[in-house]
Amino acid sequence: MAPKYRVGVIASGRIAREHGRGWAECEHTDIVACADSHPEALASYAQDFNVKSTYLDYREMMEKENLDIVSVCSWDPQHAEMTVAAAAYRPKVILTEKPMAISLGEGEAMIIACKRNDVKLAIGHQRRFFSSWTEARRLIADGAIGEVERLWTGVRAGMMNTGTHGIDFQAYAMSDCPAEWVMGSVERKTDHHIFGHRVEDRCCGLIGYANGATGVIENELSGKYMVGALLYGTKGMMDVQGNSLKYMTEDKAGWQVFDPPDKEDTGYGNAFVHQAYGICEWIEGKVEDYRGNGEKGKAALEIMMAVYESARVHERVQLPLQTRANPLDVAVEEGRIPVERPGWWDERSFLVRGEGMSWMKDDK
Ligand SMILES: NC(=O)c1ccc[n+]([C@@H]2O[C@H](COP(=O)([O-])OP(=O)(O)OC[C@H]3O[C@@H](n4cnc5c(N)ncnc54)[C@H](O)[C@@H]3O)[C@@H](O)[C@H]2O)c1
């Protein structure tokens, strides 16, 4: 069967290669074009994924290629601009990498632009397709560990980087239960950036969910690195790390370990293939509520912005968040979180190929 959907990839760096695998292995999709401002990145991607049309300007790609699906795989500060620009060309779906954006205002603008142009917006929280994550959600919905009371996620390398997956997991595990309040704290002594935007050196946040559960997100504090969470319920507990799941229930002694039906299917990259199929099913109306849609990406973004806002205003922040700017930027610019050891640095600077990256032109 010939692939039905024409895919274009904006920004052909590291994560674009995972998207590339997803689109290439999905029988309904064909990567027909890619765009990158860096000629070498563009050429090597086109060669490795057998892509016929290449563009240095992604708007030109959108103009000429009549795309059904667009992957946005650039650094975080470019997600909003690229998604809003791509939406105007009315592909069926835009899949934008995580974090959705670097402020709530940007995230809202992306959702509005997609709605107005009748475009489905997906966010790259692809771990929602891990079999262990989905099984954890099912078990919790079935009451296996009773009412969830506490969730704990510890990460390294940035709340808005790996942390967004952990926060997204907490919501996913509880059937996308909304958060109602956030209390957070931030340490930022260096002028720390990741993927081109300001981040904390360390932070932690308490998240109050509508079902009464409280979640913890901590970054660079305990040395833990869980892309998942420990969950404590009234009748048991659960440990989800990467694509693995074990749990204890009150009726059985010891850990029960989830045995995935397909053991070949547990790797990091496989989630991108499932994500590709999931998006095709969404296009075809086979799923109403796509598991990684823009609203769910916005829920994780809002929690992260609320951690920063709470640290800025020193209070428990009620959601929906009213502050649309990035509160960490505001706090730093207001002098509330002074940098004590000056000098801009970016944890992901090892990825930079040259000055072609547009985020570098503005403020560096
Ligand atoms: N979902 C996940 O698990 C996951 C994992 C890693 C990274 N990410 C996300 O993926 C995104 C990209 O990260 P990466 O590691 O692939 O970065 P990368 O540096 O490897 O790739 C970025 C690419 O964007 C290109 N680019 C820059 N400006 C451009 C422009 N104006 N037009 C077209 N192309 C442009 C660069 O030349 C580069 O090739 C980030 O948002 C990151 O948070 C997600």
CA 310/CA 110 separation, integer angstroms: 24
pLDDT at 211 > cutoff 70 = yes
119 and 240, same domain (yes or no) = no
101 and 207, same domain (yes or no) = no
Asked if residue 45 belongs to a domain, the reply is: yes
Asked if residue 277 belongs to a domain, the reply is: yes
CA 59/CA 248 separation, integer angstroms: 52
Asked if residue 101 belongs to a domain, the reply is: yes
Q: Would you call the peptide bond into 99 cis, given omega within 30 degrees of 0 as the criterion?
A: yes
Query: What is the rounded average pLDDT for all residues in the chain?
Result: 95
Asked if residue 143 belongs to a domain, the reply is: yes
90 and 225, same domain (yes or no) = no
252 and 273, same domain (yes or no) = no
3-class secondary-structure state, position 107? helix
142 and 101, same domain (yes or no) = no
145 and 9, same domain (yes or no) = no
Query: For ligand 1, what atom is nearest to the CA of residue 41?
Result: 39
Query: For ligand 1, what atom is nearest to the CA of residue 359?
Result: 28
d(CA 351, ligand 1 centre) in Å: 9
Radius of gyration for the chain, computed over Cα atoms and rounded to the nearest angstrom: 20
pTM: 0.96
d(CA 23, ligand 1 centre) in Å: 17
d(CA 309, ligand 1 centre) in Å: 26
204 and 136, same domain (yes or no) = yes
CATH code at 226? 3.30.360.10
Digit-coded pLDDT (tens) for 10-68: 999 999 999 999 999 999 999 999 999 999 999 999 999 999 999 999 999 999 999 99
DSSP for 242-301 reads TTEEEEEETTSSS-EE---S-GGG-STTHHHHHHHHHHHHHHTTS-SS-TTBHHHHHHHH
d(CA 191, ligand 1 centre) in Å: 21
CATH code at 29? 3.40.50.720
| pLDDT-derived band at 352, boundaries 50, 70, 90 | confident
Q: Which residues contact ligand 1 via a Cβ below 6 A?
A: 10-16, 35-38, 41, 58, 73-76, 97-98, 124, 126, 195, 351, 353, 356-358
CA 345/CA 118 separation, integer angstroms: 39
170 and 311, same domain (yes or no) = yes
252 and 229, same domain (yes or no) = yes
Digit-coded pLDDT (tens) for 86-131: 999 999 999 999 999 999 999 999 999 999 999 999 999 999 999 9
CA 305/CA 92 separation, integer angstroms: 29
256 and 283, same domain (yes or no) = no
Give the closest residue to 85 by CA, choosing from 267, 96, 75. 96
d(CA 182, ligand 1 centre) in Å: 29
pLDDT at 231 > cutoff 50 = yes
